[in-house]
Amino acid sequence: MLDSIIVGFGIAGLNYAEQLRKQNKAFCVIAPKDKSASHVAAGIINPTVLKRYNPVWKSEEFLYHALHSYNEIQKSLSDQILYSKPIYRILNSVLEQNEWSVAASKPLLEKYLTADLISSEALTHIQSPFGYGEVHCSARIATEKLIETYLKETIKERLIIDEIDYSELYFQENSVSFKDIKAKKIVFCEGFHSVNNPLFNYLPLVGSKGEMLFIESNELSEEVIIKGPIFIVPLGKNQFWVGATFNRTDKTSKTSEEGKNWLIKKLQQNLLADYKIIDHKAQVRATVVDRRPLLGRHPKHQNAYILNGLGTRGVMMSPLLSQWLYEYIEGNSKLPPEVDIKRFENHYFRN
């Protein structure tokens, strides 16, 4: 019998698999070949909320754990997946310059934001007459490359390309079976698809669709991530990720002309370079009503667990969240109440 079945292999499934791999646990991953939100994410690790000049919840813990964890994973892979990249926030007025300076002197933000402004001349082909504020400890994870390389090089023999049909799950007191696979536990890392999971669909997963463009330009700098009305993120080889939209009504992963036109309009507000659009994609972020992740044990099935609700920060948060969940399952340590699905237990018993 296996120790665990992991359902889904986006960034959550990957980071949970890494916990089990490090502890020499016997596990398998069940996931279809489809691309998930993790494949198309910009992969930015940013401990700040630049719209409101706040640090992310537990930013320091999540940031340093993520950087360490991806660096360790990278050492075991044949390719680079972690890129340190500063974020240059476009400043549109003297007022925004002043707001930046105030934010950069706040105790919780001073370790992330550079107090001295960057001159508007620093980047060619970007229009930013009032210069830039710099987030200096940010990074980018090449998520698609990470997922594909990790699958191929680290857990190839443990991957089962399939989709869980929930009616084929069979729970016993100390085990769970799916087809001919039997394990002590099952951990669902299904992203927004979890709304179809009868075990966990009582949780208030809202979902927010994001569309993005992939562009090519040989005039833009590959050294920095630019944050204006949208992000422009260098991917290497003169390609850039541009996004994203936020749509809370359409929960499909279909691209739209409306989304594309909105992105082009925002891109052209500050971009002076020639560019070519090479792709346009969409996926749904798994967002939660209270904007906190969803971790924990099913109220009835004691061997069914969830790691979800990663919202817009899954890349940065999932390494530490995976560790918290692992220690909760194996070590009987408590989950922080902010992320524990116990906070929604009344939704389960109401149904």
Question: Is there binding between residue 7 and ligand FAD (CB under 6 A)?
Answer: yes
Query: Of 88-96, 190-198, 269-277, 294-302, which segment contacts ligand FAD by CB under 6 A?
Result: 190-198
67 binds ligand FAD (CB under 6 A): no
Contact mark string toward ligand FAD, 208..227, x via CB under 6 A: --x-x---------------
Comparison of 119 and 246: residue with beta carbon closer to ligand FAD? 246
310 binds ligand FAD (CB under 6 A): yes
86 touching ligand FAD, by CB under 6 A: no
Q: Name the minimum Å distance from CB 95 to ligand FAD.
A: 27
Per-residue x/- track, 257-296, ligand FAD (CB under 6 A)? --------------------------x-xx----------
Q: Which is nearer to ligand FAD, 131 or 314 (CB)?
A: 314
Residue pair 261/230 in contact (Cβ under 8 Å)? The answer is no
Residues between 231 and 260 that touch ligand FAD (CB under 6 A): 243-244
By CB under 6 A, residue 203 contacts ligand FAD: no
Regarding 34 and contact with ligand FAD (CB under 6 A), the answer is yes
Is 297 a binding residue for ligand FAD by CB under 6 A? The answer is no
Q: How many residues line the site for ligand FAD (CB under 6 A)?
A: 40
Residue 139 in the binding site for ligand FAD (CB under 6 A): no
Q: Is 65 in the site for ligand FAD (CB under 6 A)?
A: no
What's the min distance (Å) between Cβ of 155 and ligand FAD?
13
Least distance to ligand FAD from the beta carbon of 224, Å? 15
Q: What is the 3-state secondary structure (H, E, C) of the chain?
A: CEEEEEECCCHHHHHHHHHHHHCCCCEEEEECCCCCHHHHCCCEECCEECCCCEECCCHHHHHHHHHHHHHHHHHCCCCCCEEECCEEEECCCHHHHHHHHHHHCCCCCCCCECCCCECHHHCCCECCCCCEEEECCCEEECHHHHHHHHHHHCCHHHEEECCCCHHHEEEECCEEEECCEEEEEEEECCHHHHHHCCCCCCCCECCEEEEEEEEECCCCCCCCEEECCCEEEEEECCEEEEECCCECCCCCCCCCHHHHHHHHHHHHCCECCCCEEEEEEEEEECCECCCCCEEEECCCCCCEEEEECCCCCHHHHHHHHHHHHHHHHHHCCCCCCCCEHHHHHHHHHHC
**Residues interacting with ligand FAD, by CB under 6 A?**
7-13, 30-32, 34, 36-38, 41-44, 163-164, 189-193, 210, 212, 243-244, 283, 285-286, 308, 310-316
